[in-house]
Amino acid sequence: MKPRILVSREVFDETLALLAEHFDVESNQTDQRFSADELAARLADKQAAVISTSDRIDAALLDRCPGLKAVCNVGVGYNNIDVPACTSRGVMATNTPGVLTDSVADYTFGLVIATCRRVTEGEHYLRDGQWKGTYLKQMLGQDVHGATLGIFGLGRIGQAVAKRAAGFDMNVLYHNRSPLDAATEKTFNASYRTKEALLRESDIVVLLTPYSAESHHMIGAAELALMKPSAVLINVARGGIVDDAALIEALKARRIWAAGMDVYENEPALNPGFLGLKNVVLSPHLASASEPTRKAMANTAARNCIAALTTGAPPNLLNPEARR
């Protein structure tokens, strides 16, 4: 008998076909997110799960699923998984690094340009029938080329953003928990700054830090107050890294010039304060959403799942100590 697995959200046919070669697959192709209770109930008789980053895997769920051996996230960020709780129960946890790097970096740049050059505001103006002709001071924005770009989190995706910044003649600053080696800094032409110095000096601040207890509200009122009044903040990392209420206040008061947001605290719920603001570009967690990349993410998660239950050595294992 084939092992039983759950696919918790809609995936591509090719992903299901890959999984079906090895497993008896129950899949949620209606793509309605399961409640915590329903997810636990459906996983109770499964050996593995291919899950989305909006499914929470915690100790309470794991205690209801004693046969579970692997949870395979379709996504690189894994703050939805309590990895220590998985490890202590012998459950392997995996993610999908690498396959989405360039798509997320492309999107980050798109959001930088859309925000600095007021692209979506211009579209709304046009669609609302407000355009009566072009004039010199119409919808003036900030330049991207030649600007100082401050990147929080110069990891894989941050480095791909820095590579794109070189084409725009930007001055790249970064902040990580500790500075990178000199050769890497040279490759990306990036200079290390403290958190405070990066906020003070940057024209555009991009957040690419993983979410954790440590990065929760890493950007709040105090940090926004350090930024230039002409500065732009871009969050493509995770909701909760920015204190959204504090950002809304700063945008309203024009303490910073604008923001571009792809992720939110408590998403898919959105702080309604964003909706009345013209100086924010909003998108619904789309940074990795190109068709080839989303296919690569789903298929990578599927391969992790197959390897977890066949060889016990999935390529993107987050907790090698969990192998049993």
Report the catalytic residues: 238, 267, 285
Quote the CA–CA distance of 296 and 292 in Å, as a whole number: 6
Cβ proximity to ligand DGY: between 74 and 144 the closer is 74
Cβ proximity to ligand DGY: between 100 and 204 the closer is 100
Which DSSP state fits 86? Answer: H
Within 13 A of 310's CA, how many CA atoms are on the CB side? 13
Quote the CA–CA distance of 54 and 51 in Å, as a whole number: 8
Minimum Å gap between C-beta 182 and ligand DGY is 30
Cβ proximity to ligand DGY: between 97 and 150 the closer is 97
Contact 235, 223 (CB under 8 A): no
Minimum Å gap between C-beta 100 and ligand DGY is 6
Cβ proximity to ligand DGY: between 118 and 260 the closer is 260
Q: Which residues neighbour 287 within 8 Å (Cβ) at sequence distance 6 or greater?
A: 100, 103, 104, 107, 108, 111, 236, 262
Minimum Å gap between C-beta 156 and ligand DGY is 11
DSSP string, 278-324: SSEEE-SS-TT--HHHHHHHHHHHHHHHHHHHHTS--TTBS-GGG--
CA distances from 178 to 175, 206, 221, 240 (A): 8, 18, 24, 22
φ/ψ of residue 284, rounded to 5: -90, 70
DSSP string, 21-84: TTSEEEE-TT-PPPPHHHHHHHHTT-SEEEEETTS-B-HHHHHT-TT--EEEEESS--TTB-HH
Cβ proximity to ligand DGY: between 75 and 314 the closer is 75
Residues of this chain that interact with ligand DGY (CB under 6 A) are 53, 75-77, 100, 288
Give the pair of three-digit tokens for residue 30. 């209606």
Cβ proximity to ligand DGY: between 47 and 293 the closer is 293
